[in-house]
Amino acid sequence: MTTVTHSRRWQFWIDVGGTFTDCFGRTPDGVLRRHKVLSSGVTKGSAGGGSTVVKIVDPLRRGDPAGFWIGYRFRLLDGEGRAVAETEVADFDAGEGVLTLAKPLAAAPLANQAYELDGGEESPILAIRYLLGLRLSDTIGPIAVRLGTTRGTNALITRRGARTALVTTKGFADVLSIGYQNRPRLFDLAIRKPPPLFAAVVEVDERVAADGSVLVAPDGEAIRRDLVALRTTGIDSLAVCLLHAYQSAEHERLVESIARDVGFDEISVSSQVAPLVKIVSRGDTTVMDAYLNPILRQYVAALRRSLGESDLRVITSAGGLVAADQFVGKDSILSGPAGGVVGFSRVAQAAGFDAAIGFDMGGTSTDVARFDGRYELEYETEKAGVRVVAPMMAIETVAAGGGSICHFDGVKLVVGPDSAGANPGPACYGRGGPLAVTDINFFLGKIPPEFFPFPLDRGAVERRLSALVEEIATATAKRYEPVELADGFLRVANANMVKAIRSISVAKGYDPRDYVLVAFGGAAGQHACAVARELGMEKVLLHPDAGILSAYGIGMAEITRHGMAGVYQPYSDDAVAALADTFDAIAKPAAEEVEREGIARERIEVRRSLDLRYRGLDAYLTIREPGGNGSSPGGTGLPSATTYAEAFAAEHRQLYGYVHENRPLEIVAVRVEVVGRSAEDLPRSQAVEPHVVRGERSATAWFDARRREATVLRRVDLRPGDRIAGPAIVHESTSTVVVDPAWRADVLSGGELLLS
């Protein structure tokens, strides 16, 4: 067990992903415990020998908390994952792994027939109950929960948010639909624009000039009539975005007040959500906030019903923790992945690496990010076809996860973007799912089935691969061997992930060969060597908890608040000095909020930055305060700067390869980040005198479509100094690490695997 700082109550660090939910439970005496469940909240298993119509024997249930499954719904599944019988668990013997059913089944289950257990609660609650050993009927006592969730992300991607209406200035009803008229794919003949998030538009007859002066005052009674009529159409949430409201918010506050009077509870106001120039991006952000807020509030409310008086905090897209009641739509898009960035950066530093690239491959997608001694934040970006003006980690996401579906489109092999998800999952899960990346790794021998948390169905994978062999042969007249086809899918998936890493390194002027690749997530360990080889990277770091490192990072995250204000003034040293009061006015209330969260004043840090651009341009760069708390540390490749202008020039040259000499700058906005620094300090890790170890057994695996015998070891059996020669497969409780041929793995003093 890993031990960390003592806490007086149980604390849980949870990352809810698209397929799996990862959970750490920290006991009051500081011991970390781990658990991983499906994000559907359903637990899978299979009926073993001795099962009858009233008793299900499953060796995998041995060691579960005593009586834990009593009251859960039991569903027996057929070969395609359909429920053929359903009842309730009346008793559970943890020692023997026996589930006693409340009603007998019509017939005894077949050998290894799949079943599932469902308590009707969200996956974080299931994980918490399991680690605490609490049954469905038990109350969860006061605990502390830190959570990252993809609930907002999924609602945005699938367009399943709340019914939202946009309230905007008269004459601007189409402004968000028109957008910037940009074409992301210039040569597409059939343009498919993503559908708008709002279902209706209300125009307000008002007008504010660019300097904030009122040109047309709004009519409160007219606004009231329009909103009353809107209320009858089933609209759940309002996004209020009026022209030039970033200069004067009075009219937006009036609309908000009237909307609350007529019964709207969910209202997002642009002057609060994104108080900056550009009505399109400001409007998009406000609409997205309104679209997601009801979904997030329902989710938080469901958790609170089970958690009672517990302290619940959520990690935002910027990597900081906020109280669950302050978690809003615009800050939710990268909630889970941001925890991964915190996690990989902390463990890289602990192992002596200040420059790291995070490679987080989960069940649905792969997230990559770069760390140079500081987090790289973006303040204006586009996610799922929606422009977002909010601080968030600079994370590149590609649809290549363990659940990404592998198929043939008539011309080429394709991996993703669709995913098998948690339900039905990949084909090998035995619920009738499609062929996915996890199936490919399993088929190629890189996932030993005996270590998986539930039985895997190899026959289902072989049938789907055989069907694809026939489909490709019919279309191309070339017949591949199943191993060749599987290897081809693996290469496509790896190429997708390599492309994503190049976009956050090479495309921004950074050489990936100067970084260590920190692989984490349930599937990254199976692909890390191949991805690093393609990028020319020589070292890969895997933490002992790499399979659930995003949850680990959520536990390491700090409490933060962000603030900003538009400036839009010519740059000069005097202009910068004059902004001191503006910085203080933004920082003071944010720091007070952080202090109220229980952070000691001496651990509160204020980081300042300016948005700067060349005068006459639209795009800007966010420049941290030179020489201050936000200055660039070593490892970024940028020279040290003494003024914002020098730092801007260095950053511009790094990104674009040139600077405009003597061209005047403009200050676009001031930004403040207030950080309550974490008391968690990870111990330093280092190399130990190596000695070669060999596993007790080997397994057949395929590398580059060639058969090899790979050593099989368990991570728990490894000790600091152990050296493993590839090919090898290292089993962990939450993932599998594959050491490719020509690679080796060394165990560091902290238990990390360093592949080289």
pLDDT, residue 76, reads 94
pLDDT, residue 679, reads 60
The dihedral sign for the CA sequence 252, 255, 261, 263 = negative
Residues 383 and 330: their CA atoms lie apart, in Å, by 11
Q: In terms of Cα–Cα distance, which of 741, 721, 719 is closest to 729?
A: 741
pLDDT along the chain (756 residues), means of 10: 55 88 92 90 91 94 94 91 92 95 93 92 96 94 92 85 95 90 78 86 94 92 94 94 93 96 94 91 95 94 91 93 91 90 94 94 86 89 85 88 89 87 81 90 90 82 93 90 93 94 90 95 91 95 91 91 91 93 93 86 91 91 77 46 90 90 92 83 86 86 93 91 92 88 94 94
pLDDT, residue 501, reads 95
Residues 201 and 644: their CA atoms lie apart, in Å, by 42
Residues 274 and 295: their CA atoms lie apart, in Å, by 20
**The whole model's pTM is what?**
0.85
**597 neighbors 559 (Cβ within 8 angstroms):** yes
Q: In terms of Cα–Cα distance, which of 197, 211, 200, 195 is closest to 168?
A: 200
**360 neighbors 412 (Cβ within 8 angstroms):** no
* Contacts for 367 with CB less than 8 Å, ≥ 6 apart: 337, 340, 358, 360, 395, 396, 397
pLDDT, residue 598, reads 80
Helical spans, DSSP H, in 308-427: 335-350
Q: In terms of Cα–Cα distance, which of 311, 299, 295 is closest to 121?
A: 299
Residues 463 and 443: their CA atoms lie apart, in Å, by 11
pLDDT, residue 631, reads 41
What spatial distance separates the first Cα and last Cα of the chain, rounded to whole Å? Answer: 27
**245 neighbors 212 (Cβ within 8 angstroms):** no
